[in-house]
Structure 1
C-alpha cells in the first residue's frame, strides 16, 4: 500500500484499523499528540478545540461529497423514521351511508352501512346522511420503519500518519 495522505479515508474489508490508521467512529484524540491531523480536521467532527478533536464518525452513515448546500462535517438523516400525519400525502376516505336501517346483522367489529338487498352487493341510497364521529378512526401502528438504502457494511479508516497534503 502506498503511503497515504494524512487524514485520508479508505474503506477496509476487515474489521480493524491497520497500524497508522483509526476507525472512523468519532473518537476524540488529544491535539497535543496529533497536531498535524488537527491542522487538517480542526473541530469539524467534534471536540473542544482546546485539548481534543474528533475523527469523523461514519458508523451507520453514508458519505456525501460536500457542495449543493451540504457542508463539510454536516450530519443528517436517520436509520429509522416514524411518519407523522403531516408527512403523509393528502387524500380522502369517502364514506357514505343511508338513513335506512340495515336488516342483516354482521358479527364482529363491523359497521353496517345500508340495507340488505338480497344478492346485490349494495343499494344506492336515495339520501345521504352524515356518519357519527366514531365511525372512522385512525389506523396504523405509529411505529418506526427502516429508512435505509440497500447497504454493505465495511470499515472506514482514517490515516493518522502520512504525507501532509498540499493545496498546490
Structure 2
C-alpha cells in the first residue's frame, strides 16, 4: 500500500527513509514542496511565503483534533510543572499539644528551678534583679503558647510530568498519493 502525502508514521530506526522526513519542525521551501504545503499550510510554523514547517513531535504526544478544544497544529502541555498552593489538594497538618508537665525535663538543674537569662524585676523582693539569678517554684497552671501555623514544606521546584514513554521517531511522507476529501 502506498502512503498518502503528509501521512505520519512511527518508525523504530533513527533516520527518515527516502521520501520521508522526521517530524522535527524543520522548515521546507514551498517552491519544492507545493503539494505538501497545500495540505499543511503554516499551521505548524513557517512564514507561508517562502517556507512552511513540518509538525514538531519531538518530546510530544500527538492528540486527535478536537474542534472544541486545542486547535490542530497547536502545542500544549509541559514536561515539568511547578504546582501552586491552589493546585495542591485540600489537606491539614494536625498537631497535638498538652499542658501537662513532661515526664522528664533535662535542663541541667533541678526541676523546680531554672536560671534567668536576663534582668528580672520583682516588686516583692528588689534583690532579684540581675542575670544569672535562680528562679524557684512550680506554676499553679500552665498555659501553653502556640504558633498556629505549621512550618512550610517543599522547595517550590518543578516536578516531572511525563507519562511512561518509549522513544520512537515520527516521520512524515514527502511523496505519495494526494489525499482526496470525502
| Global fold match (TM > 0.5) | yes
Cα distance in 2 for residues equivalent to 1:129 and 1:87: 34
Partner of 1:8: 7
Q: Give the one of 122, 125, 150 matched to 2:164.
A: 150
Secondary structure of the 1:29 match is: strand
Partner of 1:42: 41
Alignment of 1:74-89 (within 5 A): 74-89=74-89
Q: Give the one of 147, 156, 160 matched to 1:132.
A: 147
TM-score, normalised by the number of residues in structure 1: 0.77
Q: Which runs of 5+ in 1 are unaligned?
A: 107-125
TM-score, normalised by the number of residues in structure 2: 0.71
Partner of 2:128: none
**Contact between 1:96 and 1:130, CA under 8 Å: does it hold in 2?**
no
Alignment of 1:20-59 (within 5 A): 20-59=19-58
In terms of Rg, which structure is larger?
Answer: 2
Q: Which runs of 5+ in 2 are unaligned?
A: 108-140
Greater alpha carbon shift after TM alignment, 154-163 vs 64-73: 64-73
Q: Deviations 1:74-128 (Å, cap 9, x if unpaired)?
A: 211111122221110112222343456655359xxxxxxxxxxxxxxxxxxx998
Structure 1 residues 129 and 155, CA gap change in structure 2 (3 angstroms):
same
Alignment of 1:88-167 (within 5 A): 88-98=88-98, 102=102, 104=105, 131-132=146-147, 136-167=150-181
Cα distance in 2 for residues equivalent to 1:104 and 1:64: 64
**Contact between 2:93 and 2:150, CA under 8 Å: does it hold in 1?**
no
